[in-house]
Structure 1
């Protein structure tokens, strides 16, 4: 070694380390930053020493999508992969793999990709149209019954 002392990070409780390791939204490097700036490799070594399960190098290989229908609408509306990755707190690769898992078509950069704000605006209009159509159908059914 060249005389520089190694960064040993900060000391945390066993429970806190296990909590950080179990949080799949954090990468090993992010855990390392919380532990005083140690490397992701050092985090992995600490986990192995504690007998914790292997996590791999990435946060997730598939995005944690609670609402697959919304993800599909965002994908088909051409919300950019970068924006989706930020929204779901994962990598762009995870977004692409999630789209593939859901059977969505691959995309080109054209037509122009849209922001999350523009998607929300478009989705709100779509939802209002659905509600209006439902209300109109109920109104028409009610008036048909009354006419008979």
Structure 2
């Protein structure tokens, strides 16, 4: 295994289709399409439910704002793996059957899959106000501390 630098499927062997690998690729494509459809359907259902919750008059503005932020973060956390893992890997397995060379594309697919775990928490940190404020206050230590005046209500300690 030390000499293996590329792993792939033989879709054609001696100019004849290798039906077991082609069938496996088609099953993989079907699973990916089903997962994408499931994501789309569930996002639409969540959107309609949150829309109903936002129209509810009993909730506070803070709660409505927080629900909207959670929904946006959920959408971005759903889009991220689709474009960084599902689409690149899907193309990586699909393009060779069409005869397209994926030598350079495989490096892009590897990079996007490797960088995904580092980018995954960013939508929550950047979209949700409380998380963003905590993150910025903790990690922006190079900012100058703001100097605020002292409370001037009772500075005379001699008068009693």
Q: Same fold (TM over 0.5)?
A: no
Greater Rg, structure 1 or structure 2? 2
TM-score, scaled relative to structure 1: 0.26
Q: TM-score if structure 2 supplies the norm length?
A: 0.24
